[in-house]
Structure 1
């Protein structure tokens, strides 16, 4: 199974949510750090972090419109 490079994930989220890659990158890094702190199995941490960032930015987008 091929995993996506973090830059690829950040770019996709930025495009999907119309958010700058810089903002997405910072949010993704912070989310990864939080998830890794308590994770016992790290295999899915990047996937879960990407989902959390996407959901957070989508929710913020809905609030601002």
Structure 2
């Protein structure tokens, strides 16, 4: 049984708030990352979770470099 798809708007909003990044930027990064993961995935249950984590980590790393 697969996991229900998370609400993309909620994920994007959460990451945008946590990283002080515009939602449009986060949305594009999330969509691109999600597509990349789905290309290579054999099991899709946790792909949205992994994509969100990667985007969040990348934005946090970028934010630390600016300060």
Same fold (TM over 0.5): yes
Q: How does 1:1-65 map to 2 (within 5 A)?
A: 4-65=6-67
**Residue 2 of structure 1: how far off its partner (Å):** 6.3
Which fold has the larger relative contact order, with Cα–Cα distance below 8 Å and residues 6 or more apart in sequence?
2
Aligned residues: 65
Taking only aligned residues, the RMSD between alpha carbons, in angstroms, comes to: 1.3
SS for the counterpart of 2:6 is coil
